[in-house]
Amino acid sequence: MQPQTYRMPSEDALQRLLKATNAARAVARKCGNDVYAAAGPLMLNIRLIAAAQTHAEDMAEHDFFAHEGSDRSDVVVRALRFNYSYRMVGENIAAGYPDVQTTIDGWLTSPGHCRNLMNPDFREVGFGYAEKQDTEYGRYWVQVLGVQH
């Protein structure tokens, strides 16, 4: 059996994304009409990182922006591909943002993305990032949140 390959953003990018996400979760906020108390910090999970990175690269390679992959996969399928035994998963995507903080800020201004980010049931997170010139957005960001059984 072949060992599983895990594609990842740089360690520096992962740490910046984790720090910004956990800083956002540490503050009570309103997401649309829902009020969220501060939530506990998330921990990186390599399987979620792989699922997120794969989707970021797929969007960049095929020049699209959607939760559905070019192979029609969704976040559940992508998490399972990397053997993430989930009880619950969620996904935030962003495109075109120039850096980590503006990406996180963008998610916080979108009620659905904000709800995912602030959901206190999530315990783990993975991030993906890909850049490709001559695409509509240039930069593609993915955050996959989860909690295992």
Residues in the chain: 149
Instruction: Provide mean pLDDT across the span 83-99.
Output: 97
Give the per-residue pLDDT at 9.
84
Instruction: Provide mean pLDDT across the span 83-108.
Output: 97
Give the per-residue pLDDT at 117.
98
| Of 1, 24, 10, nearest in space to 103 by CA | 24
Looking at every residue in the chain, the average pLDDT score rounds to 95
Indicate the pTM of the whole model.
0.94
